[in-house]
Amino acid sequence: MSVSITAATPAALAWLCWALLAAGCASSLPTRAEYQRIEEGTGAIVLLHFDLTVDGEPITLNARSALDGTVAALVTQFGEPVLQPESKFTETVRFFEAGEWRDGWVFCVLAPGTYYLEVSSGSGSLLSAPEHVINKYEFRVDVPLRSEVVYIGTLRSNVLTGKLLFGRSPAGFEAGSLQVMDDTAAASTLAAECFADLHPPTTSIMFRYEGGTREVRTPLEAIDTKR
Partner 1 sequence: MNGLRTRLSRRRVGAIVSLLFLLRFAVGCVYIPGPEWTVIEGQRLNADQLAFIKAGETDRARIEEQLGPPPYYWVDFQTMIYHWRVENGIFVVGAPGGGAAGITTKEYLLLIQLDPANRVRRYGIIGGDPLTLGFFNIKSRRERIRQWLASGIDQEAGTE
For 154, phi and psi rounded to 5 degrees?
-115, 125
State the nearest-atom distance from the C-beta of 6 to partner 1, in Å.
Answer: 4
Beta strands at 44-54 and 149-163: parallel, antiparallel or unpaired: parallel
- Say how far residue 38 (Cα) sits from the centre of its chain: 19
The Cα 160–Cα 152 span in angstroms is 25
Helix (H) or strand (E) segment spanning residue 153: strand 149-163
List the beta bridge partners of residue 106: 48
The Cα 59–Cα 221 span in angstroms is 41
Largest CA distance in the chain: 62
Task: Assess 2 for contact with partner 1 (CB under 8 A).
Answer: yes
State the nearest-atom distance from the C-beta of 10 to partner 1, in Å.
Answer: 6
The Cα 208–Cα 141 span in angstroms is 9
* CB of 127 or CB of 207, closer to partner 1: 207
Q: How many CA atoms lie within 13 A of 153 on its CB side?
A: 19
Task: Assess 19 for contact with partner 1 (CB under 8 A).
Answer: no
* CB of 124 or CB of 212, closer to partner 1: 212
State the nearest-atom distance from the C-beta of 91 to partner 1, in Å.
Answer: 14
The correct pick among 87, 125, 128, 213 for binding partner 1 (CB under 8 A) is 213
The correct pick among 33, 56, 64, 80 for binding partner 1 (CB under 8 A) is 80
Instruction: Specify the stretch interacting with partner 1 by CB under 8 A; choose among 78-86, 127-135, 144-152, 185-193.
Output: 78-86
Site for partner 1 in 88-147 (CB under 8 A): 89, 114
Judged by CB under 8 A, the number of residues near partner 1 is 30
The Cα 125–Cα 127 span in angstroms is 7
The correct pick among 9, 36, 179, 189 for binding partner 1 (CB under 8 A) is 9
Q: How many C-beta atoms surround the C-beta of residue 175 within 10 A?
A: 13
Task: Assess 87 for contact with partner 1 (CB under 8 A).
Answer: no
Instruction: Specify the stretch interacting with partner 1 by CB under 8 A; choose among 9-17, 52-60, 151-159, 201-209.
Output: 9-17
Site map for partner 1, 48-77, x if CB under 8 A?
-----------------------------x
For 46, phi and psi rounded to 5 degrees?
-105, 120
State the nearest-atom distance from the C-beta of 63 to partner 1, in Å.
Answer: 23
Residue ranges that bind partner 1, judged by CB under 8 A: 1-10, 12-13, 77-80, 83, 89, 114, 212-219, 221-222, 225
